[in-house]
Every structure is written in C-alpha cells, then in structure tokens.
C-alpha cells in the first residue's frame, strides 16, 4: 500500500465515528421517534442501532424528497425492495427538509454533549475539511452532491461535522463507482467485502436485506469466477477486492492533496474526537470493518 493510500484510509478511519455518529446518536433516535418513527430496539456494543425507515429517509433526505428507487440506487448495497418500502413509509411521516434538519441538529447536539461546544483544534479541522470538500467533484456522486448542497452551519463544530459528512459521502460514492466499474453487483460486493474483512460468509451482508436465494446465487457466481471458496477469498479474490479499495483511494487524491499541511493535524484531532464519541456510546466501533463485526454480533 502506498503512502497516499495509507493517508486516504487513515483519514476515512479518523472521520468515521465522528461523522457516522449521525446514525447512532441517542439524540437522533429520540428526535426521529418524536416525529413518529419507531424507537431503536437493537444495540451493538451498547450503542443503539437505527430504525430502518428512519435511517433510509434521514440519509436519503440529503438528495431531497426522492422516491425509494433513487435512494436504493444511491446507497447501492441494499436490497431495493427493502429500501423502497422503508422510504415510502418514511416520507409518510416526515418530509425531506424536516429529516435533513433533524439529523443535523440532533447529531451536532450529541457532539457538543460529548466534545463540548468548541473542542480544541476545531477551527483547524473545519478549515482542513473545507479545503478537501472544495476540491471534490460532484459528477456521478449523488449523495455527495446532495450533502454539499446544504448550508454550512455557522458554528465551527457543526461546520466540521457537516463537511466531514460531505467527505464521507464522497468516499462512499467513489467506492460504489469503484465496485461497479470492477464488474460487481450489490450482492457480490457485499459477499466479497465481508470475507475481505474476515467475517463469516452471509453474516454482515444479511443486514442489507438480501434473501438466502439471492446470496446463494451471488456465492455461486463469485465461486465460478475463481474469487471465492467456502473458506474465504481466493488469492485472486483478495487482490481484486483490494483493487477496489485502491480505486476508491485514487478518487480521494484531490481532496487529500487540497488539505495540504493540515492533513496530519486533522487526522490526529479527528481520531481523538472519534475515541471520545465511542467512549460515550455514540458509535459502536472504530471504523467500518469493526462496525460490520459489531452489527453482525448484535
């Protein structure tokens, strides 16, 4: 792995609990429940997991009041049947503007509770993330384009979270482009990824609402291509899946270079904030791989 790839993944890991707390914050669950969504009923590592319709509509609200088919296409890895039903139900409870405002306000409320109104270094992080987001290209990245269309909050912690959310969605959209470009479908990338992360077959991918028949067919396709066995990824499968990560990292070059001499400081500060968020049960893991493991065991 190159130094550049290492920087890309270090930034992603540092951002994840700080930004991704939007899906686990107690304040968010309570706010969605007050709108009429179901309460959080499951936990992972002592952290409340989101209600499905609240998750799909709150994150989908970045793109406006779009149909469930559009949300499913943008998220990429979920069974569209589950997404469409959840979004249709969610829009019957609250509109996109309400959901977008609620998710931001409630998330920042949690971060201020955990980190304080003005954590040390927040101006540096906000400036570094602003540089990164300013260098991002929205073409082909629907969630990023939706996220960046929102107003940047006036307070610095809120601005840092908003900009981090934009950058997280940019990487996510880029990752989707990478696995589609590599010739995989949503079931296949889920199956490859859980094995890439060292998880049992058909464990984490079940959280994406695929049926056993769909998963078994995906396993058969990957096996026939020489990428997967009952024991895990083949050497070729490992190389192909790592290539998807490298292709994702390559798309992060502009934003990372734009951060310049603020990159290392921003990563260090974000790591510290993310650890505080985790310690206060605002996020169940240290990054996507650990999150998958935690949710699989929940």
- Whether residue 27 has pLDDT greater than 90: yes
- Closest listed residue to residue 62, CA positions, set 124, 145, 151, 184: 145
- Closest listed residue to residue 28, CA positions, set 155, 161, 142, 160: 161
Candidate from 150-154, 222-226, 263-267 with smallest mean pLDDT? 150-154
- Average of per-residue pLDDT across 245-266: 96
Burial class (CB in 10 A: 0-12, 13-18, 19+), 18: buried
Q: CA-to-CA distance for 62 and 254, rounded, in angstroms?
A: 23
pLDDT 10s digits, 30-43: 999 999 999 988 88
8 A C-beta contact, residue 51 and residue 86: no
- Predicted pLDDT at 200: 93
- Predicted pLDDT at 272: 97
Q: How far apart are the first and last CA of the chain?
A: 32
- Whether residue 225 has pLDDT greater than 70: yes
What's phi and psi for 232, nearest 5 deg? 140, -160
- Predicted pLDDT at 4: 64
pLDDT band at 26; cut points 50, 70, 90:
very high
- Whether residue 296 has pLDDT greater than 70: no
- Predicted pLDDT at 86: 98
Element (H, E) at 232: strand 232-233
pLDDT band at 45; cut points 50, 70, 90:
confident
List, in order, residues 6 or more apart from 203 with CB less than 8 Å away. Answer: 194, 296
- Average of per-residue pLDDT across 123-127: 97
- Predicted pLDDT at 264: 96
- Predicted pLDDT at 285: 76
- Average of per-residue pLDDT across 194-222: 96
* Cα maximum dimension of the chain: 54
- Predicted pLDDT at 20: 96
The chain-wide mean pLDDT, for the chain, equals 95
- Predicted pLDDT at 44: 86
pLDDT band at 119; cut points 50, 70, 90:
very high
- Average of per-residue pLDDT across 161-185: 98
- Whether residue 94 has pLDDT greater than 80: yes
- Predicted pLDDT at 289: 65
Higher pLDDT, 170 or 288: 170
């Amino acid at each position: 792995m190159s130094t550049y790839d290492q920087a890309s993944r270090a930034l992603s890991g540092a951002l994840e609990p700080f930004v991704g707390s939007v899906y686990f914050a107690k304040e968010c669950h309570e706010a969605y429940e007050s709108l009429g969504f179901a309460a959080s009923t499951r936990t992972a590592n002592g952290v409340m997991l989101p209600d499905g319709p609240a998750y799909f509509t709150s994150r989908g609200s970045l793109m406006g009041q779009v149909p469930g088919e559009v949300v499913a296409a943008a998220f990429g890895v979920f069974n569209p049947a589950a997404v469409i039903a959840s979004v249709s139900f969610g829009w019957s409870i609250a509109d996109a503007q309400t959901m977008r405002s609620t998710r931001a306000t409630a998330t920042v409320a949690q971060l201020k509770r955990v980190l304080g109104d003005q954590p040390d270094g927040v101006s540096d992080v906000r400036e570094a993330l602003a540089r990164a987001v300013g260098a991002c290209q929205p073409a082909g990245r629907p969630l990023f384009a939706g996220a960046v269309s929102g107003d940047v909050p006036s307070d610095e912690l809120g601005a840092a979270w908003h900009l981090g959310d934009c950058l997280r969605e940019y990487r996510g959209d880029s990752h989707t482009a990478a696995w589609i470009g590599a010739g995989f479908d949503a079931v296949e990338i889920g199956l490859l990824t859980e094995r890439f992360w060292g998880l049992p077959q058909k464990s984490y991918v079940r959280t994406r609402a695929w049926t056993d028949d769909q998963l078994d067919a995906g396993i058969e396709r990957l096996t026939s291509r020489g990428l997967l066995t009952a024991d895990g990824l083949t050497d070729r499968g490992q190389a192909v899946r790592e290539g998807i990560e490298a292709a994702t990292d390559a798309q992060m070059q502009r934003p990372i270079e734009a951060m310049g001499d603020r990159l290392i400081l921003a990563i260090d500060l974000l790591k510290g904030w993310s650890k505080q968020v985790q310690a206060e049960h605002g996020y169940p893991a240290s990054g996507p791989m650990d999150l998958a493991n935690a949710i699989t065991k929940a």
